[in-house]
């Protein structure tokens, strides 16, 4: 079965294509990762927007809680400015949560959906409680229900805690994007925890200032718990800040916030944490309105710290996005450059290298197989292609000279054979005339001599014919087209031309199938080899094996006999003209058969070899190009 082979052009194009594909894969992978980073940055920025809105909601919920507790226990003249602050805080809460909910609906985070539904539920509960608070505020101070206030405090605090829990769950999906951002988010969470405990504390104290009562036992326990959590929170926050990249920026802000907080709360600590009568009426040196302002500033100093972290997270997210955009642009530029270089390489290989080479190869193929030699027109003749084209022109020139030389040699051989045959025929005629004229007186020995003379003349005539045939081998080969011929049918025709003795057998190999070859030259070669094997056999019976195998470029024929064999010292001699291994008067041939075989094979671009030894038969192998 014939194996298909890729052309040099196709091989080079496949190599360039593979290299281009490899570059595309590498650059594409880089672009993919950059796009992934860009999408992460976009998702992170959206997440930061949601988290910022939730923290803003918590901040205003904390302030609204403190204002509500103070208003519920204050006279209308005192409560009026606080009520305006409360309304502003409520609007800010509603706006911040609306922003957060919109951002969350756009993202569709399935993991946070459960917690989000719980958050919305608690928000709706708080909205209903707001309405009750507003109803209570329209009542006289003495008629207001303290249970409504307590439930509001609990539900407001529960909503703040739910938002904080939601932030913790929601932010986990972003913490894997960047380790520094993850650390910042955790630190930010701790800061808000501390701010929330502080907010609860100042809300309770604001309520007591508005009531002008000392804390109840429950309030005292809650304040002690909150103070312990706050002090512990500050200790944890300081240790955690040591590992922060922003330590140099955060420590001054932390110290300022800590100083302001403890200074503010320490001023009233004795009033609320001392051994005062539980729940008794009190006279405080500070009003609830003034207290809310002071405590709000103290808590705001913590929120400044939180805002600094939020700002850094936003800055880092922007940096990730910018780096990703830059990486995408750079990767795209690299890809375009690689694609351009690959396309140019394809153009060079296909049109400026492979096409000229193919044109020259086709020209050589036609010259060797069809005897048509035309130099192709090549547009781009750079150094290497120009050299090849020069070699091709030299080859054409030499081939033309050789053709002219062969034609001249053929004419010379024809003329020489013709001119030599004329005297030979004259001598033959004269010998016959002498024998006829002198028949009566010519001695018997003279007649024998005249017969021998005529035999030598006929032998000389055949040798001249062989010489002429040998000289015309190239011309005959060029004149034959490739005809599709069956190997077995070809051997059958050859056997029919040979006077095959009864004891001889010609065996054809199974692999000798359909061959695309020039029939007449191959027939002449096989005829001579098979005929020699039979004619020079040393026995009355014998076997000749004829077979052929095929590869991608040629057929390999073999003709093997079981005759007397040929001494290795004569393996080269037998292929020369008029060379026989026996004296000419005893030889069955004139020594031209193998010389003719060799010349035909070489003229067709093949080679012939002999494997033989005395008594071991002979094996002739020759190649026949496709």
Asked whether residue 20 is domain-assigned, the answer is no
Residues 116 and 264 reside in one and the same domain: yes
- Domain residues for 489? 481-625
- Residue appearing with tokens 């399935």: 110
Among residues 438, 471, 504, which one ends one of the domains? 471
Q: Do 85 and 233 fall within a single domain? A: yes
* DSSP letter string, 476-495: HHHHPPPEEEEHHHHHHHHH
Q: Which of 471, 499, 530 is the last residue of a domain?
A: 471
Kindly state whether residues 486 and 467 are assigned to the same domain: no
Residue 5 lies in a domain: no
Cβ(360)–Cβ(391) below 8 Å? no
The reported pLDDT for the residue numbered 488 is 79
Statement to judge: residues 538 and 607 lie in one domain: yes
Do 162 and 272 belong together in one domain?
yes
Of the candidates 471, 496, 524, which is a domain's last residue?
A: 471
- The conformational region for residue 513 under phi > 0 = left, psi -120 to 50 = alpha, else beta, is beta
Mean pLDDT by 10 residues, the chain (626 residues): 58 76 80 83 85 90 89 80 89 94 74 81 94 91 90 94 88 77 79 84 83 82 85 79 64 74 69 62 72 77 77 82 85 81 77 76 74 70 71 80 77 72 80 82 83 80 70 58 71 83 87 70 88 86 90 89 87 76 53 83 88 89 89
In degrees and rounded to multiples of 5, residue 586 shows phi and psi of -110, -10
Assess whether 329 and 430 both reside in one domain: no
Is residue 375, in this structure, part of any structural domain at all? no
Whether 35 and 108 map to the same domain: the answer is: yes
Residues 497 and 573 both lie in one domain: yes
**Model pLDDT, residue 365:** 76
Q: Are 164 and 259 part of one and the same domain?
A: yes
125 CB contacts (<8 Å, ≥6 apart)? 155, 159
Phi and psi at 543, nearest 5°, equal -135, 135
In angstroms, the Cα distances linking 163 to 46, 55, 110, 216, 604 are 17, 8, 17, 29, 94
Sign of CA dihedral 461, 466, 469, 471: negative
In total, the chain counts a number of residues equal to: 626
- Any domain includes 342: no
| Res 259: pLDDT | 76
Neighbours of 86 (CB within 10 A): 24
Tokens encoding 112: 């946070």
How crowded is the C-beta side of 500, counted as CA atoms within 13 Å? 18
The domain that contains 508 carries what CATH number? 3.30.565.10
State the residue for tokens 């001598």.
427
Secondary-structure breakdown of the chain: helix, strand, coil percentages, each rounded to the nearest 5: 75, 5, 20
- pTM higher than 0.85 for the full model? no
Q: Is residue 353 part of a domain?
A: no
**For position 530, what pLDDT does the model report?**
92
Specify the pairing of strand 554-561 against strand 618-625.
antiparallel
Same domain? 522 vs 617: yes
Q: Is 208 a domain residue?
A: yes
Q: What φ, ψ does residue 389 adopt, rounded to 5°?
A: -65, -40
Rounded Cα gap, residues 472 and 551, in angstroms: 30
Cβ atoms 209, 89 nearer than 8 A: no
Within-domain flag for 455? yes
Q: How high is the pLDDT of residue 333?
A: 85
Q: Are residues 485 and 445 in the same domain?
A: no
Determine the Cα–Cα distance for residues 550 and 563; give it in Å rounded to an integer.
27
Residues 561 and 434 in one domain: no
Overall domain count for the chain: 3
Residue 341 lies in a domain: no
């Amino acid at each position: 079965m014939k194996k298909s082979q890729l052309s040099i052009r196709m091989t080079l194009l496949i190599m360039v294509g593979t290299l281009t594909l490899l570059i595309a894969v590498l650059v594409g992978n880089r672009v993919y990762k950059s796009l992934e980073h860009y999408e992460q940055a976009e998702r992170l920025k959206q997440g930061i927007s949601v988290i910022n809105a939730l923290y803003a909601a918590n901040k205003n919920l904390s302030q609204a809680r403190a204002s509500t507790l103070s208003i519920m226990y204050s006279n209308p003249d005192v409560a009026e400015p606080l009520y305006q602050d409360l309304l502003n805080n409520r609007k800010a809460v509603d706006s911040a949560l609306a922003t957060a909910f919109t951002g969350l609906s756009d993202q569709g985070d399935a993991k946070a959906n459960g917690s989000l539904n719980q958050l919305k539920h608690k928000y709706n509960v708080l909205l209903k409680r707001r309405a009750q608070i507003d109803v209570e505020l329209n009542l006289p101070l003495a008629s207001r229900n303290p249970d409504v206030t307590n439930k509001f405090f609990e539900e407001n605090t529960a909503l703040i805690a739910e938002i904080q829990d939601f932030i913790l769950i929601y932010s986990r999906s972003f913490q894997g994007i960047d380790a520094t951002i993850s650390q910042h988010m955790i630190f930010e969470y701790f800061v808000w925890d501390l701010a929330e405990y502080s907010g609860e504390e100042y809300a309770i104290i604001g309520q007591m200032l508005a009531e002008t009562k000392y804390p109840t036992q429950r309030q005292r326990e809650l304040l002690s718990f909150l103070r312990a959590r706050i002090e512990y929170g500050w200790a944890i926050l300081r240790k955690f800040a040591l590992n922060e990249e922003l330590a140099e920026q955060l420590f001054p802000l932390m110290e300022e916030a800590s100083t302001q907080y403890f200074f503010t709360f320490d001023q009233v600590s004795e009033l609320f944490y001392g051994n005062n009568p539980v729940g008794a009426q009190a006279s405080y040196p500070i009003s609830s309105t003034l207290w809310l302002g002071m405590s709000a500033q103290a808590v705001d100093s913590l929120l400044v710290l939180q805002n600094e972290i939020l700002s850094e997270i936003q800055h880092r997210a922007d940096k990730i996005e910018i780096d990703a955009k830059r990486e995408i642009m750079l990767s795209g530029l690299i890809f375009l450059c690689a694609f351009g270089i690959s396309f140019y390489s394809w153009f060079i290989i296909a049109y400026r290298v492979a096409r000229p080479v193919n044109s020259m190869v086709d020209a050589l193929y036609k010259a060797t197989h069809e005897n048509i030699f035309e130099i192709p027109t090549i547009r781009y003749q750079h150094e290497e292609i120009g050299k090849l084209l020069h070699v091709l022109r030299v080859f054409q020139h030499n081939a033309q000279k050789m053709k002219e030389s062969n034609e001249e040699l053929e004419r010379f051989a024809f003329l020489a054979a013709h001119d030599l045959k004329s005297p030979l025929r004259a001598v033959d005629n004269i010998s016959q005339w002498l024998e006829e004229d002198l028949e009566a007186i010519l001695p018997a020995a003279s007649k024998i001599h005249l017969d021998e003379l005529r035999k030598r003349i006929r032998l000389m005539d055949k040798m001249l014919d062989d010489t002429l045939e040998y000289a015309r081998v190239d011309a005959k080969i060029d004149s034959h087209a490739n005809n599709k011929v069956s190997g077995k049918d070809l051997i059958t025709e050859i056997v029919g031309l040979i006077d095959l003795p009864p004891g001889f057998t010609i065996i054809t190999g199974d692999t000798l199938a359909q061959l695309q070859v020039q029939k007449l030259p191959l027939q002449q070669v096989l005829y001579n080899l098979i005929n020699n094997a039979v004619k020079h056999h040393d026995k009355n019976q014998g076997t000749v094996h004829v077979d052929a195998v095929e590869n991608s470029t040629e057929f390999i024929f073999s003709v093997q006999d079981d005759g007397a064999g040929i001494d290795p010292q004569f393996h080269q001699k037998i292929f020369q003209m008029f060379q026989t291994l026996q004296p000419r008067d005893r030889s069955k041939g004139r020594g031209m058969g193998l010389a003719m075989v060799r010349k035909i094979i070489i003229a067709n671009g093949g080679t012939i070899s002999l494997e033989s030894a005395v008594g071991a038969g002979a094996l002739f192998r020759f190649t026949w190009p496709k």
